[in-house]
Amino acid sequence: MSLELSVRLPLARFTLEVDARLEGASVAVLGRSGSGKTSLLEVLAGLRRGARGRVVVDGRVLLDSAARVEMPPEARRMGYVPQDALLFPHLTAEENVRYGARTGRSSRVDEAVALLELGPLLHRYPATLSGGEKQRVALARALATDPALLLLDEPLAALDVTLKERVLPYLLRVRDEARVPMLYVTHQLGEARVLAKEALLLEDGRVRAVGLASQVLGASARGLLASEAEGEENILEGVLERPEPGGTRLRVTEALALWVPDAPELADGARAAYAVPAGDILLSMGPLSGVSARNVLAGTVVGLEDAGMGEQAATVDVSGVRWVVRLTGTSVRELAVVPGVRVHLAVKTAACRRLR
């Protein structure tokens, strides 16, 4: 997959100016409200008149204004799921999913239905579906069109925390099992960290940072987003292992595994995701012993940001995995937490909540 963007689009307050070359497998587009995220998606989908520049997806030229090329939306194979993705109320979930499917591609419908576990919902009408279920149907409808690229505009924004946690694993399945490339708009760092391999940060229509998510989504990204560090979560993805009876670990990387509450319905080796609230992690300057928390992780502070309301958010690198830990300003001063210091993090097993 490759994505070449060179876009100019005059908007009410500024001109959207995006120049980026992305590998494109999963890209998070982040920025405050009004920074141009939706406009960028609409340019890709071909829904904005007046866009200039070049958009090339996997060698297919969707837009090249200098050469007067502007592919019509229906020819672009973009699976666009707008923020308020509406289902057709008079059609069942299944009819909704089939609606956009390309003829001769019915296997895509079956795949989307299986992937998003829509089987039991197929005969229901949208009015009887929960918000999370509707999102899954909307996502399946986009997938069934056999898109070259999924354009997802804050697919979880309208959902409450519980529903969000139910839908997120489905997005991970779309990414990892269907392997459909996606551009994913969000203003939640946690979501972007777990979903994206690459990230594009917009501010007033301009690219503030673009590149590997691990580099772009560090502590400095928070300053660009609304102050929403409260409730911020660390989302960890990995494979379940059960090294001892009654003990379940999430293996995140070769060097990092985390004791987590068991998920009995998942077999050893299954992929799983857990969330750990940034405020539920204890930070210690010295080695920790005799604590009840089962996970004690050694790491280095790599960033410190104002998190609002007198609190700070420390970014801690633990064997290459970045954690965000929320601390009071007083703790930061008293413990002398500064970038570069070695610290230990204590995470209770019970603080790790399985997503879904």
Ligand X SMILES: Nc1ncnc2c1ncn2[C@@H]1O[C@H](COP(=O)(O)OP(=O)(O)OP(=O)(O)O)[C@@H](O)[C@H]1O
**Distance in Å, CB of 35 to ligand X, minimum:** 4
Cβ nearer to ligand X, comparing 26 with 39: 39
Give residues 22-61 in contact with ligand X (rule: CB under 6 A): 31, 33-39
Using the minimum distance from each CB to ligand X, give the nearer residue, 7 or 272.
7
Region binding ligand X by CB under 6 A among candidate stretches 7-15, 208-216, 285-293, 303-311: 7-15
Bridge partners of residue 258, in order along the sequence: 250
Identify which of residues 202 and 355 has a Cβ nearer to ligand X in the complex.
Answer: 202
Q: Which residues lie closer than 8 Å to 353 by C-beta, 6 or more apart?
A: 165, 261, 274, 275, 276
Report the nearest approach of ligand X to the CB of residue 302 (Å): 28
Shortest gap between Cβ of 36 and ligand X (angstroms)?
A: 4
User: Least CB distance from residue 45 to ligand X, whole Å?
Assistant: 12
Indicate whether 145 belongs to the interface with ligand X (CB under 6 A).
no
Please identify, among the stretches 5-13, 169-177, 222-230, 321-329, the one whose residues bind ligand X according to the rule CB under 6 A.
5-13
| Least distance from ligand X to the Cβ atom of residue 281, Å | 29
**Minimum CB distance to ligand X smaller for 224 or for 282:** 224
Centre a 10 Å sphere on the Cβ of residue 23 and count the other Cβ atoms it contains. Answer: 13
Residue from 1, 8, 11, 91 touching ligand X (CB under 6 A): that is 11
Burial per residue of 136-169, b for 16 or more beta-carbon CB atoms within 10 angstroms, e otherwise:
bbbbbbbbbbbbbbbbbbbbbeebeeebbbbbbb
Tell me, by CB under 6 A, how many residues bind ligand X.
11
Cβ proximity to ligand X: between 232 and 311 the closer is 232
Looking at the Cβ atoms of 13 and 68, the one nearer to ligand X is 13
Tokens of 117: 């576990």
Nearer to ligand X among residue 11 and residue 335 (C-beta): 11
Least spacing, CB of residue 157 vs ligand X, in Å: 8
Nearer to ligand X, 36 or 147 (CB): 36
Rounded to a whole number of angstroms, the minimum distance from the CB of residue 262 to ligand X is: 38
Of 10-18, 96-104, 193-201, 293-301, the segment contacting ligand X by CB under 6 A is: 10-18
Least separation in angstroms between residue 32's CB and ligand X is 7
Give contact residues for ligand X (rule: CB under 6 A).
11-13, 31, 33-39
